[in-house]
Chains A and B, each alone.
Chain A
Amino acid sequence: MTALQNFDEYVTRALNGYWARRSFCGQIDSNTTATLFAGQRLSLQLGALYTIEAMQPGVSGYRLTAGTLYSSTQTPFLIGKIVYLGAYNLGTGLFDTGGPMPTVTEGNISRQVYSSVIMYAASNLTRTSGTSLNISVQYVDQDNNTAESAPSVTLTNPVTQNTAAFLRLNGTDIGALDITGCSTTGTGVYTGTIAFLGFIPFGIFNPTLQTAASAMQLNLLTDTFSLPLLSANDQIGFINFSNAAKRYQGTLSFIGEQA
């Protein structure tokens, strides 16, 4: 069986039961911090992730085709695949190595893709003593230069869990293939963990036409013509550009890639 080729085949597969709709929800009970570090201008928030389930018998992968999202605050949500690149425990100073960005087939070439890096407060970050703490992240850039070190930034205090920011890279770097380490300077002593995430975008839930709390739709079949292929345990994330407390819930529709 070849990969999904057209609308007719989509309909046939759906009628044959190779179709799944799953629910997801996220809850951020209090406002997140506007900035993770000094100088950040674009507020960013990342809530709960959705994990792709084990494949059903006869299905080799799920292609995301559509979704809905209701949010208690009006803001667009980017949806995409989350890649865990690592995490730094501010309390212990230990760096947990995650995976690199994946190798995918794009334009009929297999290659490792780069991503902007999301710095994400996986827990509350709290300064317990000292004054300020500067953090610098080591990474592999989009051209596979392995010894890159991002400019140091000064952490905000305190930072609420789910607060996020884009890592500021060196000079003309436009993405990272991996995060390899983290270092700090300054007298500040913090507790909490910062995770580093890659993001492969699929599309957007756009509240343009809503006037209040938003119910938004995503239809990749007609919006992008690009139906991402997902495997068991892949994680889907929802980035939004507001730091307000919110609850959101929605659905994701998949068509099965037949084994």
Chain B
Amino acid sequence: MTANFTSASPSIDKAIAANANYGSFNRLIFDMINGTTSAATTACGFVTAQRFPTRPTIPSVGAGVQGYIATNIQAFTEDSNTIMIVGLEYLLGTVLFAANTFTAGVSMPLKTVKGTSGIQTASGLTMMVVRSGLTATNPVITTTYTDQAGTTGRTCSLTIPTNATANSAFLMQPHMTPSSNGVRSVQSISRSTGSIGVIDVYGILPLYISHRNVALYNTNILNNFSIPWLIAPGERLGFYRLLSNTTCDACISITLVPEPS
């Protein structure tokens, strides 16, 4: 078989054949946020967000397969009027509050789209996430990054709520220059104050976004195959929820179809 969704001529027939010949990846994952997280303010993302702790890793693949394409993802929580996001997640960098030390992460990956390889992706949904609870009064977190066009030295600052709790997530885009709000990589992260806690910055390539209406109806936007990102072995999925900071259970159903080499 030859490449399908990453080629210039994808087809459902090829996907059906890839499923039959190589086998799809099907998983049901349960995750939870057990403590109330910190709500966003106008100084940190505007929209309240949470990150679930689980990060499933895409396992190895066999001969003739280069990875998977997400054809169906569904996510459920108990709360109405919230938004669930599932995406490929990349740890771009970390700051340890204790000594204000920065640890570099990865750059956003190169992807093949419609037969063109080596396309540099940029995160259009970049999250500042509290990995472990902070002890700090309104710390300002400043990130230096390379934007979607490759321009280096861009900066973005968020003022995080006092003593922000683990699994709180803050959207960085509103605090970037509008013309440079995609992120290829992060060069530094620093905090203004505080001595306890860890903050990570994640880049995301969204695979699924759904809005939960007034009941548990999964009114998803990207229900079906929409974004042909190749999900390569070793890459990880991340789960986020918007519009709530309460404790939460989540159930995520994932179907990935193998993508031939």
Contacts and interface: CB of A to CB of B under 8 A. Distances in A.
Interface of A: 2-8, 10, 40-44, 74-76, 78, 80, 104-109, 111, 113-116, 166-169, 172, 174-175, 199-204, 206-208, 221-229, 241-242
A199 B28 contact: yes
B25 interface: yes
Interface stretch (B84-92, B113-121, B252-260): B252-260
A6 B11 CA distance: 10
Given A225-B15, A226-B257, 12 more contacts: A7-B16, A106-B22, A106-B24, A106-B26, A167-B30, A172-B54, A200-B26, A200-B28, A201-B28, A224-B255, A226-B24, A226-B72
B23 A106 contact: yes
Given A4-B16, A41-B78, A226-B257, A107 B23 contact: yes
Would you list the 3 A-B pairs with minimal beta carbon distance, nearest first?
A108-B62, A3-B20, A225-B15
Interface stretch (B130-138, B179-187, B192-200, B218-226): B218-226
A223 B89 CA distance: 24
B54 A108 contact: no
Contacts of B26: 80, 106, 113, 200-202, 226, 228
Contacts of B16: 4-7, 10, 221, 225, 227
B149 interface: no
Contacts of A225: 12, 15-16, 19, 71, 225, 257
A41 B249 contact: yes
Interface in B40-67: 53-54, 56, 59-65, 67
Contacts of B27: 113-115, 175, 200-201
A204 B217 CA distance: 11
B76 A115 contact: no
Contacts of A43: 78
Interface in B100-123: none
A199 B56 CA distance: 17
A174 B56 contact: yes
Contact of A108 (B22, B28, B29, B215): B22
Given A108-B258, A208-B217, A223-B224, A4 B24 contact: no
Contacts of B68: 107
24 contacts: A3-B20, A41-B247, A42-B76, A42-B249, A76-B74, A76-B217, A78-B28, A78-B74, A78-B253, A80-B26, A105-B23, A106-B23, A108-B258, A109-B61, A116-B28, A116-B29, A202-B26, A204-B72, A206-B218, A223-B71, A225-B16, A226-B26, A226-B72, A241-B216
A204 B253 contact: yes
B253 A42 contact: no
